[in-house]
A and B are shown apart, each in its own frame.
Chain A
């Protein structure tokens, strides 16, 4: 069974950093890229960035550049999202998502498998 299991909820103070992990199972980890998407309470989905498993390339949405780092560990089938300099606006559920591969796909435009989400609360 293909699934992504994320680490548990976090509570952080403003200015701190958070690192969320995402464990993949049920498929060949290096065959698919990963993206991270967040959803603030009662709000819509917001794309954060993407990491290529084979290339190690990353691409970050402009608003997160400089404080977001996406990494993977192919030996343990883990993907990580680290966000620094947190503010209350970063309070959200953070999702890892597998990039859906299909013919003609640019490799990171659609997401077919999602983690269960990790709630990150930023509060003083």
Chain B
């Protein structure tokens, strides 16, 4: 399976909102709402920030929100801050009961 499709980079100014898309096929998403998002700062391990499309684990800022429509999931970062500069990866639970990651999106805070 090919990776889910994400834009290579997205940028925004402090305080703005940005949205990262994550597109796949019917098989990639399996008809489920099991989409997760991870944040990875350079040299650090990935951090789970969204699960089940739109839920945030305890301790994750409410500035992060997720949604899904059809075979496209989205992550929105509101009130962009310098600390949000990182790589972001989506993942889905596929029809084959495996996990598929997106190629990653580099977020730059201008």
Contact = CB atoms under 8 A, between A and B. Distances in A.
B24 interface: no
Contact of A46 (B34, B55, B101): B101
A102 B89 CA distance: 20
Interface string A46-86: 11001000000001011000000000000000000000000
A36 to B, nearest CB: 11
Contacts of A117: 45
A95 B100 CA distance: 15
Contact of B99 (A44, A108, A112, A115): A108
Interface stretch (B9-17, B69-77, B78-86, B90-98): B90-98
Most A Cβ at <10 Å: residue of B38, B45, B93? B45
B106 to A, nearest CB: 11
A50 B91 CA distance: 15
Contacts of B1: 62
A26 interface: no
A114 interface: yes
A114 B46 contact: yes
Given A44-B104, A47-B91, A109-B36, A102 B99 contact: no
Given A100-B57, A110-B91, A105 B101 contact: no
Contacts of A115: 45
Contact of A106 (B57, B89, B93): B93
Nearest to A117: B45
Contacts of B89: 44-45
A55 to B, nearest CB: 14
Contacts of A110: 34, 36, 48, 51-52, 91
Interface of B: 1, 3, 32, 34, 36, 38, 40, 45-48, 51-52, 55, 57, 89, 91, 93, 97-104
Q: Which 3 A-B pairs have the closest CB atoms?
A: A109-B93, A114-B45, A44-B104
